[in-house]
Amino acid sequence: MKIILGSDHGGYQLKEHLRKYLAGKETEDLGVFSEESSHYPEIAKKVAEKVVSEKCFGILICGTGIGVSIAANKVNGARAALCHSTEYAALARQHNHANILCLGGRFTEHSLAEKIVDTFLTTEEEDGRHDVRVAMLDEMDINC
């Protein structure tokens, strides 16, 4: 599945690392393209809207991962999860059907980020009780 990448300046170094790491996969980099100061809500909105419209995955990175996750989750259909470990990434996919992985560029070693990304991209969504709960999230979007 296609992967949309985006970061602010705080996530730029890690985004560049992951863009190269994911070179064999279909990716689209929406920026930023330098470490010049930028506003994380702008890139989070761009990535989240594209992930929802193209039904694909996103990876969003800012300094902590917090700002991009707050912003991305304001877009209907986006389920952005800030992950600090492979366990979080697996559960975000299995239980929350997350479609956007958020990372803290200033707090996540590149080698750990690679493992988190691999886990996120390869873990399937679980159905049953999780489907019911994700449907409730979708319902909240419709009512917003």
Is the CB of 66 or the CB of 137 nearer to ligand RB5?
A: 66
Shortest Cβ 44–ligand RB5 spacing (Å)? 10
Is the CB of 33 or the CB of 53 nearer to ligand RB5?
A: 33
Is the CB of 18 or the CB of 62 nearer to ligand RB5?
A: 62
CB distance 65 to 103 below 8 Å: yes
Binding positions for ligand RB5, rule: CB under 6 A: 8, 10, 40, 62-64, 66-67
Shortest Cβ 7–ligand RB5 spacing (Å)? 8
Is the CB of 62 or the CB of 81 nearer to ligand RB5?
A: 62
49: alpha, beta or left, given left = phi > 0 and alpha = psi -120 to 50?
Answer: alpha
Shortest Cβ 68–ligand RB5 spacing (Å)? 7
Instruction: Return the number of other C-beta atoms located less than 10 Å from residue 79's C-beta.
Output: 21
Q: Residue 62 catalytic?
A: yes
Instruction: Return the number of other C-beta atoms located less than 10 Å from residue 116's C-beta.
Output: 23
CB distance 94 to 115 below 8 Å: no
CB distance 3 to 15 below 8 Å: no
Q: Which residue is nearest to ligand RB5 (CB)?
A: 67
User: Which residue out of 62, 83, 97, 102 is catalytically annotated?
Assistant: 62
Shortest Cβ 65–ligand RB5 spacing (Å)? 7
Q: Any idea which residues carry the catalytic annotation?
A: 62, 95
